[in-house]
Structure 1
């Protein structure tokens, strides 16, 4: 059993040894690895299930492991100076979390919370670093993944750091759409349970501004909101609201 903790730091005891769980690496950092590298990686660590809102990692803790998300979704949050909580990112199945603290040995800079029941494979820091040392292709893939995350974080700060509330919310929805949009009869549904407060945190807006902007986007026919979540009905007005040119290589997604 590993030393995974709940939000209070108490051991949960809900891990169990794993052997060769198939990890959905199609979107993850190790998608292009060869069969032998992947087989070895699949054999590392333990499998664990987290309940809704349970912490996978807590800000300030040591980086004792990395976590591969197998099912479910998680959000990355950090404490603010006023005692609040800033939503930094959402992560989907196949993605790796916790690698920065393992790589640099510094305390975790953010917490990671499950936003729905999530299954993970957790690999201890020493085992993961040994794996990278023995597998140059995996080390290079991780380096590229970390670089991509840093580039996306920079792009995200630029996209949501200026403009009207409507533009910032529209850009945030486009980012979410590309990472977790699921086709439905009504359009593309953002397949992660985000409250208006979560959207406000991601777009760096007030809850009132999010409400006004969603109302405008609904009136324009761009989105539909309801108990099943938020659906983007037409990407064109959403891109226009964001002040962005709509790319032509979306594979038919509208």
Structure 2
């Protein structure tokens, strides 16, 4: 199997919390597939025919509301299990999953997936644990995006996205966020021009570096302090 090691991608990611025997049960039930950048893994509203284990690359999760507005919800990386709740509920998918870069996945069809869960209930426990963590993260992101002070709000939104991207994140570790500026503006609930001004300020402070489809947090401790509304110790107020 072509996934990265647990040490590289975090012990807390769902796939790494499964035992080798549990991983083997899912591998035996599924098949591998490689997706090109931009390719759709599954569409919002489609039938829940399978679940996915990301072995390599990053996947964007997005949804369209009743007004037809498309908004990003999250990005998931190696050793994450995605699209797993719809096959359990049997309801149409609530979000679209698309490849950000080249993505390698294990795909497990719904009927086989449900059979594995019945035979190995601890896998179901880990999946529901992940769902609870993601719900808490989503609630925090909505809470932080509503703050009145934009620089602080942007720092808080970036911090919550960091915690989604890197489950084992520590303050001293740089993190790449795989979103473009338009998507970050949607997360922060601001116009793109307002977001650009906020990013300019964070760049000036040496907190972030920006590139196409990527925001790098280069001063994580400073980001945490800014998110809390405090000037970081090494940045002049």
What's the TM-score bracket when you normalise by the shorter of the two chains?
A: 0.7 to 0.9
What CA distance in whole angstroms lies between the structure 2 residues aligned with 1:82 and 1:51? 29
1:62 to 22, 47, 50: 47
Residues 177 and 188 in structure 1, CA contact (< 8 A), matched pair in contact too = no
Secondary structure, in 3 states, of the residue corresponding to 2:125?
A: helix
Q: State the partner residue of 2:117.
A: 132
Structure 1 residue 232: deviation in Å?
A: 2.4
Deviates more, 1:93-102 or 1:223-232: 223-232
Structure 2 residue 134 is the aligned partner of structure 1 residue 146: no
Q: Show the counterpart of 1:188.
A: 174
The structural deviation recorded for 1:235 is: 2.6
List structure 1 segments (4+ residues) > 6 angstroms apart after TM superposition.
none
Counting helix residues as a fraction of each chain, which structure ranks higher?
A: 2
User: Deviations 1:178-204 (Å, cap 9, x if unpaired)?
Assistant: 4446x9xxx724152x21111112222
1:35–1:203: structure 2 CA closer, same or farther, 3 Å change rule? same
Q: In structure 2, what is the Cα distance between the partners aligned to 1:208 and 1:119? A: 35
CA distance in 2, matches of 1:95, 1:245: 33
Structure 1 unaligned regions, length at least 5: 1-20, 247-254
Question: In structure 2, do the counterparts of structure 1 residues 67 and 202 end up closer, same or farther at CA, with 3 Å as the change threshold?
Answer: same
Cα offsets for 1:54-87 (capped at 9, x unmatched) = 1101010111100111111011111133322111
**Aligned match of 1:200:** 185
| Structure 2 match to 1:231 | 216
Aligned residues: 223
Contact 1:89–1:202 (CA<8 Å) still a contact in 2? Answer: no
Deviation at 1:127, TM superposition (A): 0.4
- In 2, the alpha carbon distance for the partners of 1:216 and 1:178 equals 22
Question: With CA pairs under 8 Å and 6+ residues apart, which has the higher RCO, 1 or 2?
Answer: 2
Asked if residue 155 in structure 1 is aligned to residue 133 in structure 2, the reply is: no
Superposed displacement of residue 245, structure 1? 7.3
Q: Per-residue CA shift, 1:125-172, capped at 9, x if unaligned? A: 110010000002212111211222222222222122323322222122
Mark the runs of 5 or more structure 2 residues left unpaired by the alignment: 232-237
Are 1:53 and 2:38 an aligned pair?
yes
Q: Quick check: 92-101 or 37-46, which moved more? A: 37-46
Matched position secondary structure for 1:59 = coil
User: RMSD in angstroms over aligned alpha carbons?
Assistant: 2.6
Pick closer, same or farther for the CA change 1:235–1:244 going to 2, 3 Å. farther
Distance 2:186 2:213 in 1: 21
- TM-score normalised by L of structure 1: 0.78
